[in-house]
Structure 1
Amino acid sequence: MKARKAIVRTFGAAAGAGILAWFAVAGGATGGSAVDASSVKTIADEGPGYAVEDFSYPNADKILAEQHITLKRGDGHILLADCASSADVLEVWGRKNEKVCFSVTGTSGYLTLEIPAVYFIKGNSYNAQVDMSAGAVEKSFEVKKNDWTPVGESADEQGRDFMLMEIRASK
């Protein structure tokens, strides 16, 4: 008999909770006749957006303000490095920035940038090629591994200032 009373109480409580829930959803508890569709939100619409890689260089604005180097795009395998504490770096020498270093990781990489008046590049253990421009004139230079390569004005018959525009490196 006690078991039967417990079952009846449990069933009655569950039925009562179900009826209250139905009224709340249908608007009976608030006096409305239905749920207002404008108050319902899709949770998926509030989630984070998609991450789309645009290959822009991180903190490029800060680097431009502090070091006067415009770093544009890359694949993440050629990075600005500290010349004093990094080994196996490309050293880019220019009239306006003196020495700027880049580390290379992985099997290959590229970086588009703007460093004005570059005249020498010391290579590292990677095969590297740089693209430079002076006005409408564009030139590419193969950078010698672990050695100095004259580029820009030091390799130009007219001694024009060349801006470093791109670095490509591979093992």
Structure 2
Amino acid sequence: MNLKLEWRFKTFEELSKEELYALLRLRCEVFVVEQNCNFLDLDNKDQKCLHVCGYRGDTIMAVARIVPAGLSYEYPSIGRIAVSGKGRGEGLGIELLNVSIEKLEELYGKSIIRIGAQLYLKRFYESFFFEQSGEMYLEDNLEHIEMTRQVQP
């Protein structure tokens, strides 16, 4: 795969103050400002996750976190998936999810993956073999669904 971004994987403890600030700022820009959603992004899970950060030069363009089994779901998960508005339409979200799935499988082996997805992104996640596995629910006034990806051969 020809990567558009430089990918860095860090535990919470490995993140510098600047890196932590940049990833939290990007999540805030996307989830709070763009989506006009007042919610507490800081949920005490970041400390136990591996952070996936995609950079273009010194600028963070995409983030996600790999959540270990038992923290959000009984299976490992990928969450807080966000791409900067400055990089939309370039395929960065596809690259981010591919890199995140690959890293999750490197960490935990081939595994079922469960996510909480915004409903409008259902088709995007289906393209990665996720299937809806729960009813629609509101989270911070946004429609979400639980989706599960079975172990892929």
Q: Same fold (TM over 0.5)?
A: no
TM-score by length of structure 2 reads: 0.32
TM-score by length of structure 1 reads: 0.29
Structure with greater helix percent = 2
Larger radius of gyration: 1
Structure scoring higher RCO (CA < 8 A, sep ≥ 6) equals 2
